[in-house]
A = this chain, B = another copy of it.
Amino acid sequence: MARSTNTRFAVAVHVLTYLAGVAGERPVSSDELSASTNVNPVHVRRVLGPLRAAGLLRSRPGVHGGWELAVPAGDITLAEVWRLLQGEDPVLGLHGPNPSCEVGRGVQESLAVLDRAVADAVADELSRFTVHDVLAGKVISRSRA
């Protein structure tokens, strides 16, 4: 889990926030979202797929098509977004230790437990915030809350 190069969560949060800002006005094209996020429109669509599948977003093709929120911004926690994009992938990178080494086997089991615990901790933290909070600039550090 060192330096993450995967920007999908950040892009998703960005897009959801953008859509929350225009909520109800009009669908927003992936081209427009691309301009805001600086991410390729095809990639935007790729990232948003799972969120649509989960019912957070709606998309329609054609003229006047685009994306819009399918639920209120205040009902979308960042934890949910994160879980949808993270899926079952491990959070901690796991190595493949020598199976014939007893220490390694025990460590691998412990790491699997830790991975789940860490994923839950991340989700718990993110569950404190919604897309509406982001839009309203309410995501501030705890020490200042």
Set of chain B residues within 8 Å of A29, measured between Cβ atoms: none
Interface residue tally for chain A (C-beta within 8 Å): 64
CB distance from A101 to the nearest CB of B (A): 4
Give the residue of B7, B17, B37, B114 whose beta carbon is less than 8 angstroms from that of A106. Answer: B17
Set of chain B residues within 8 Å of A90, measured between Cβ atoms: 3-4
A117 engages B125 (CB within 8 Å): yes
B2 engages A101 (CB within 8 Å): no
Residues of A whose CB lies within 8 Å of any CB of B are: 1-11, 13-14, 17-18, 21, 35-39, 78, 82, 85-87, 89-98, 101, 103-104, 106-107, 109-111, 113-114, 116-118, 120-122, 124-126, 129, 133-135, 137, 139-142
